[in-house]
Structure 1
Amino acid sequence: MKSFLKSLYINQRFFTAFFSIVVVFILSYFYINLFEIAKLLLTIISISTVFDGILLYGKKNPIKANRILPEKLSNGDHNTIEIHLQNTYPFKNQIKVLDELPIQFQERNFELKTTLNAGKEKKLTYTVRPTERGNFTFGRLNIYSKSPIGLLSRKQVFCDQHSVPNYPSFLQLKKYDFLAFSKKLSLYGLKKIRRIGHTLEFEQIKEYVSGDDIRNINWKATAKKGELMVNQYQDEKSQPVYSVIDIGRVMKMPFNQLSLLDYAINATLVISNIALKKQDKAGMFTFSRKVENIVVAQRRKSQMNLILETLYNITTDFSESDFSRLYIDIKRSITQRSLLLLYTNFETMDALHRQLPYLQAIAKNHLLVVVFFENTELSDLLPQSATTTKQIFEKTIAEKFIYEKKMIVNELKKHGIHTILTPPEELTVNTINKYLEIKARGLL
């Protein structure tokens, strides 16, 4: 009996009908002829309610439902959740689905409504966009079914609590994995860069055939062999590419619900995958007060999975990052000249000047690319007209900070350090473009 009462819900239609009958009873006090009509209406509603209950509870498990969750969620992306429904009632059913979403979404009134014909099945889908890494626990799946009479609803509960890990954006990884090798790069913001000059990695000496570059003729080998021989070169491979992520307090700043750290993590996952596809070695590490979460640059099959699992657990420690410690650890641990993509953020020239000597020291032995971020909220202030003193002040400050970012870029370039100044949402595309440019120009 208790379970029956827990699953029984009275709909708005019942209360509307009952309220109408009460009104007729009140009016019958003044118009006696309405009393019989009110009693008749009450009888009809009572019989209809009982009949509605019989229809809804005539079967043990009339509605079958199942929620299909992905093995893992992709951070910052729209992830699809599926709900499969089956109606075993002999009549058309109106169904309301209340799915208990993870607490991180702070969604209290999420529901889906649909109608399902007798004996039919249907698939409902919806998307969720997580903005922080970690475990997301989905609660119960509550199904409310309603007969054509519509006075009562029956509740059924499916699916126990289930936790799904939210990983860095592997959906971006799949997207850019294809685009980096696509012929239609410009449609997605990626640049097709013409390769300059020859690669430096010698492969073999072979006989000349029509179409070979005559500039590669090896005259010594030609004299010994008695026929034209040419040097054959191949693209330089297995060059170390490290993503260096600052996990200090400057990377906690949020844009579009994602922190700068999460943007950097997503970009690291994508660029590591592309580097491996380009036959380079991919690695990563983080730093703040010390260097940690180290993945040594390799080309093994399990490298991407190792990088993904390492990125999943990264969090900021809210401290001031120690670039001197970063320089010492790089000098001690990375002996081969490597491409270092340093994800950090500088807001002022003073902040840059404090770290510039260490960046210069790193750039002497490695190809250093400093990646930092535009403040898009400040950029949005510039087109707006300023009429009040407060607005003029805010716009002036915004222009000052934007100009200072450009000065930081020029200062780094002056010392031979490559830079990427990018809006957070364009970080992945701009990082890929820079990597492809470096490969094309043979800078590493």
Structure 2
Amino acid sequence: MITWRPAAIVVGGTVLLSLAGVAAGDQLGRAGLWLGAAVLLVTVAAGCVADALAAAPPKAITLSRSGKSSLWLGDSGTVELTVRNGSDRPFDGRVRDAWVPSAGAHPTEQDVRIEPGRAVRLTTTLTPTRRGDRPAVRVTLRSYGPLRLAYRQTRRNTADAMTPPWRLRVYPAFASRRFLPEKVARLRVLDGSVVTRGRGQGTEFDTLREYVIGDDVRSIDWRGSARRSDVVVRTWRPERDRRLVCVLDTGRTSAARIGDEPRLDAAMDAALLLASVAARADDRVDLLAVDTTVRASVTNVDKSTLLWRLVTAMAPLQPALVETDFGLVAGEVLRRERKRALVVLFTALEPGALGDGLLPVLPQLAAKHKVVVAAVHDPELSRMAQLGPDAGPAEVYAAASAQRTLAERERVSAALRRHGVEVVDAPADVFASKVTDHYLALKTSGRL
């Protein structure tokens, strides 16, 4: 293939020959002009062929990769492409490292010169805009000749075969981690790691300690005080080793966008915060992602590796445009969890999805487990439901639609509560915090 230079040389030479013919008048003649143009064209064509043959063959180049293989959504990382010249000629050309657009690769093209037997490393910075697996697509090599009149370039099939495979796994953003210190502090109070320990339903005896001003006198252990010749009180802690099952609905309702992210991503964020707090409370955390089949499953994981296992399982999940089989959800939970567990179902409060699918199987599920339905809603609905004094017909219709949607959510919530299911319905910005607060409230009252 040729560059722009041969065309420029031919055009420039033709112009010069034309000017020379005008200056010489009839002495040069039309035949002379055509002959000169033909000689120029043949010379340039021969130069292009010679230049292309002198270029380093792209097939002699070997490629390899190193660098980041995983990132959190919103972070940046680098991947290095090592280009080694195995030919006996210098490689003077351009390397195009193409990724899927959502990988946020920059730069994608770089000019390099590699001496024979040497190698260079080209660094590409990745700032992904979507979670999941973001693959490298193709590395295309273009080798220029010494005069840069022509170049040799790898064909598509050859480039695909030469491209070293690389896949960047992008984990969910976990934006709610900012709430984690607050929730852990509340958990420490609940667990009795500070002075204020409580006794309530579902708690177990922990230890004895000296009485301090402010302690409940009803917690004084008189026999222990007599043995120690000092006033001591009993301390209690919530029961540990409870079971928590986070169920992600990956059906069609999870594809709806709440603010600037899909509902599924908001559910993942809330599940990660909830699981992180529950693991610190020494509760066992399992994960299920279900629509018409089980998309992901994490069970019996040690708390030291729980977060990594969860984000690894969540990263490739995508909403499926199908109705969720809640019968399958109930069956999987009942099959996997023999003992009583807290089941947190992240789904949407939609009458069509829950009325026909979830409500028929709820009695069977709620009879054995504590069920919480967690749904995120768009605060824009509440704003649209309010009418201003100067509202026109379009605003009135929008408000009526928003009010109807909110009323349907309330009816679905009421129906779920009648079946003994607790509902957490919160806007996206505080959804993860509200779900974890509900878990801590259940743990405080001993209702897990």
Aligned residue in 2 for 1:57? 56
Residue matched to 1:11: 3
SS at match of 1:345: coil
Q: CA 1:245–1:98 in structure 2 vs 1: closer, same or farther (change >3 Å)?
A: closer
* Contact 2:266–2:376 (Cα < 8 Å) also in 1: no
* Change beyond 3 A, Cα 1:68–1:130: farther
What is the 5 A alignment of 1:146-161? 146=144, 150-155=148-153, 157=159, 160=162
CA shift, 1:263, in A, is 5.1
The CA deviation at 1:231 is: 2.0
| Code of the aligned partner of 1:113 | E
Superposed counterparts of 1:235-274, under 5 Å: 236-253=239-256, 260-261=263-264, 264-265=267-268, 267-268=270-271, 271-274=274-277
Q: Tell me the CA shift for residue 372 of structure 1.
A: 2.2
Residue number among 405, 422, 426 corresponding to 1:417 in the alignment:
422
Corresponding position of 1:84: 81
- Worse-matched range after superposition: 143-152 or 289-298: 289-298
1:114 to 2:110 alignment: yes
- Residue 397 to residue 114, structure 1, CA distance change in 2 (3 Å): farther
Q: Which residue of 2 aligns with 1:123?
A: 122
Matches within 5 A, 1:312-351: 316=320, 318-319=322-323, 321-322=325-326, 334=337, 336-348=339-351
Aligned 8 A contact 1:246 1:287 in 2: yes
Amino acid corresponding to residue 430 of structure 1 in structure 2: F
- For 1:388 and 1:41, the matched residues in 2 are separated by 74
Alpha-carbon distance in 1 for matches of 2:370, 2:431: 17
Tell whether 2:396 aligns with 1:404: no
1:430 aligns with 2:428: no
For 1:64 and 1:353, the matched residues in 2 are separated by 58
CA distance in 2, matches of 1:54, 1:334: 69
Give a deviation string over 1:356-390, Cα, whole Å, max 9, x none.
6865886676554322243588789889999996x
Task: Give the deviation of 1:246 after TM superposition.
Answer: 2.8
1:442 aligned onto 2:444? yes
Find the residue that maps to 2:348 and give its secondary structure: coil
Unaligned runs of 5+ in 2: 191-195
Q: Distance in 2 between matches of 1:73 and 1:116?
A: 28
Tell me how far 1:234 sits from its aligned partner: 4.2
Change (3 A) 1:298 1:67: closer
For structure 1, which segment, 11-20 or 111-120, has the greater mean C-alpha deviation from structure 2 after superposition?
111-120
Letter in 1 for 2:286: G
1:343 is displaced (CA, Å) by 1.1
- Range with bigger deviation, 52-61 or 262-271: 52-61
1:238 partner SS: coil
* Alpha-carbon distance change, 234 to 52 in structure 1, aligned in 2, over 3 angstroms: farther
Q: Does 2:96 match 1:97? A: yes
The change in CA–CA distance for 1:290 and 1:53 in structure 2 (over 3 A counts) is closer
Within 5 Å, which residues of 2 pair with 1:366-385?
Answer: 366-374=369-377
> Structure 1's 59 and 80: CA in aligned 2 closer, same or farther, altered over 3 A?
closer
| CA deviation profile, 1:74-110 (whole Å, cap 9, x unmatched) | 7x667746243569799995634143x46xx699x99
Q: Counterparts of 2:62 and 2:335 in 1: how far apart (Å)?
A: 61
Q: Decide whether the 8 Å contact of 1:241 with 1:338 is kept in 2.
A: yes
Partner Cα distance (1:224, 1:321) in 2? 61
What's the secondary structure of 1:439's corresponding residue?
A: helix
1-structure distance, mates of 2:69, 2:46: 49
Tell me which residue corresponds to 2:142: 144
TM-score, reference length from structure 2: 0.64
Specify whether residues 59 and 361 from structure 1 end up closer, same or farther in structure 2 by C-alpha distance, changes over 3 A only: closer
Give the structure 1 partner of residue 208 of structure 2.
206
Q: 1:31 to 1:82 in 2, by over 3 A?
A: farther
Q: Which runs of 5+ in 1 are unaligned?
A: 1-8
One-letter identity of the residue aligned with 1:82: V
Match of 2:193 in 1: none
> CA–CA distance in 1 between the matches of 2:9 and 2:366?
79
What residue identity is the alignment partner of 2:425? I
Q: CA deviation at 1:282?
A: 0.2
Paired amino acid for 1:95: R
Aligned counterpart for 1:232 among listed residues 211, 235, 238: 235
Root-mean-square deviation (CA), in Å?
5.6
The residue type equivalent to 1:198 in the other structure is R
Per-residue Cα deviation, 1:172-221 (whole angstroms, up to 9, x for no partner):
36x766x4544xx7xxxx99769576355445443527789575432232
Kindly indicate whether the alpha-carbon contact (under 8 Å) linking 1:267 and 1:431 is maintained by their aligned counterparts in 2: yes
Deviation at 1:243, TM superposition (A): 0.6
Instruction: Write the deviation string for residues 318-360 of structure 1: whole angstroms up to 9, x where unpaired.
Output: 235446x756775686465533221111235995598568658
Instruction: Provide the rounded CA distance (Å) in 2 between the counterparts of 1:84 and 1:332.
Output: 47
Change in CA separation of 1:257 and 1:162 when aligned onto 2, cut-off 3 Å: farther
In our comparison, the structure showing a higher alpha carbon Rg is: 2
Q: Give 1:248 shift.
A: 4.0
Identity of aligned residues (%): 14
* 3-state DSSP of counterpart to 2:173: helix
- Corresponding letter in the other structure for 2:79: E
What is the aligned length? 414
1:378-410 alpha-carbon deviations (Å, 9 max, x no partner):
789889999996x55763465335533663587
Separation in 2, partners of 1:435, 1:13: 66
Alpha-carbon separation, structure 1, partners of 2:24 and 2:397 = 73
SS at match of 2:224: helix
TM-score (normalised: structure 1):
0.65
